[in-house]
């Protein structure tokens, strides 16, 4: 069964708009789990624009499903992850630029190999499994294997942006080839970014994909449906697509 990781960052985005106490991303943990989330994903950004350090501690102590921490490859973030008493099950290493609205593009593991490799080694030694958020590019997939990571998360942003245009088919093919290569090389294959109720089925049908991380579309839909219902709806769409692959 493909796992659904619910990214709760945008609950904190709303809170930080006022810098007060609510809505608390910890509330989203309970709702997401009630809706069937298999994992809680959160991104502690260097600029702390949404999730704060205390949120990470709260989520780690509250969640009964595994927690996946997204973070940049920096000494500060590696130290934070390794210093946690209760650790996330997994860490996903992502690129970060302060001026970006959201994570744009994957980590350049091939071009900037040593920092990624070193971070993977330290995080794994501390007991966390490590996934690398990469573009669906064979060079990045191959470099990810060499880094010692156990998983890749394929960046689905280009496919999602191309949705509804002829380019979408080509982007889906790139994702398929990267998923097949990752699976053949022994990596676990995850995917995420920009997924929503319309485009998720195409990605859930790709071979080897065993985890999807979804944030913006779920939180957006939760405003109108409630988070529990939005997560349950997404889980059902994924299960249906998986049944057809
Ligand atoms: N996966 C990774 C590695 C991400 O950085 C993000 C965005 O924080 C997501 C998944 C979720 O993307 P979205 O919010 O577009 O669903």
Per-residue pLDDT of the chain (245 residues; tens, 9 = 90+): 999 999 999 999 999 999 999 999 999 999 999 999 999 999 999 999 999 999 999 999 999 999 999 999 999 999 999 999 999 999 999 999 767 777 678 999 999 999 999 999 999 999 999 999 999 999 999 999 999 999 999 999 999 999 999 999 999 999 999 999 999 999 999 999 999 999 999 999 999 999 999 999 999 999 999 999 999 999 999 999 998 87
Rg (CA), the chain: 17
d(CA 55, CA 69): 12
Position 228 scores a pLDDT of: 98
Position 115 scores a pLDDT of: 97
Q: Whole-model pTM above 0.85? A: yes
Domains plus CATH for the chain? Answer: 3-243 (3.20.20.70)
Q: Name the residue among 35, 30, 40, 37 with its Cα closest to residue 8.
A: 40
Residue ranges of alpha helices (H) inside the chain are 9-16, 25-35, 53-62, 75-83, 113-125, 138-147, 157-162, 167-184, 200-204, 216-225, 227-243
d(CA 88, CA 133): 17
Residue 211 known to be catalytic: no
d(CA 225, CA 41): 20
70 lines ligand 1 (CB under 6 A): yes
Cα(193) to centroid(ligand 1), Å:
4
Residue 153 known to be catalytic: no
Position 67 scores a pLDDT of: 98
Cα(94) to centroid(ligand 1), Å:
10
d(CA 201, CA 172): 11
90 lines ligand 1 (CB under 6 A): no
Cβ atoms 43, 71 nearer than 8 A: yes
7 lines ligand 1 (CB under 6 A): yes
Pocket test for ligand 1, best of 10, 50, 97, 103 (most atoms within 8 A of CB): 103
Position 244 scores a pLDDT of: 84
Position 98 scores a pLDDT of: 67
Residue 155 known to be catalytic: no
133 lines ligand 1 (CB under 6 A): yes
**Residue whose CA is at the smallest distance from ligand 1 atom 9:** 193
């Amino acid at each position: 069964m493909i796992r659904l990781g619910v990214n709760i960052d945008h609950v904190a985005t709303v809170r930080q708009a006022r810098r007060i106490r609510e809505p608390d991303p910890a509330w989203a943990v309970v709702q997401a789990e009630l809706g069937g989330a298999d994992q809680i994903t959160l991104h502690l950004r260097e600029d702390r624009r949404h999730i704060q350090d205390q949120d990470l501690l709260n989520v780690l102590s509250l969640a009964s499903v595994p927690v996946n921490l997204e973070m940049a490859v920096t000494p500060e973030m590696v130290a934070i992850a390794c210093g946690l008493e209760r650790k996330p099950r997994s860490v996903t290493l992502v690129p970060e630029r302060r001026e970006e609205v959201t994570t744009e593009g994957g980590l350049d593991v091939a071009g900037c190999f040593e920092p990624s490799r070193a971070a993977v080694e330290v995080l794994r030694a501390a007991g966390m499994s490590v996934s690398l958020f990469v573009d669906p590019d064979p060079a990045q997939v191959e470099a990810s294997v060499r880094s010692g990571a156990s998983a890749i998360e394929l960046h689905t942003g280009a496919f999602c942006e191309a949705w509804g245009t002829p380019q979408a088919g080509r982007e889906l093919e790139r994702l398929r080839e990267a998923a097949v290569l990752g699976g053949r090389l022994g990596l676990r294959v995850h995917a995420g970014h920009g997924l929503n109720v319309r485009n998720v089925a195409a990605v859930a049908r790709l071979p080897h994909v065993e985890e999807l991380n979804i944030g913006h579309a779920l939180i957006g839909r939760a405003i109108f449906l409630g988070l529990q219902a939005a997560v349950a709806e997404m889980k059902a769409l994924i299960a249906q697509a998986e049944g057809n692959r």
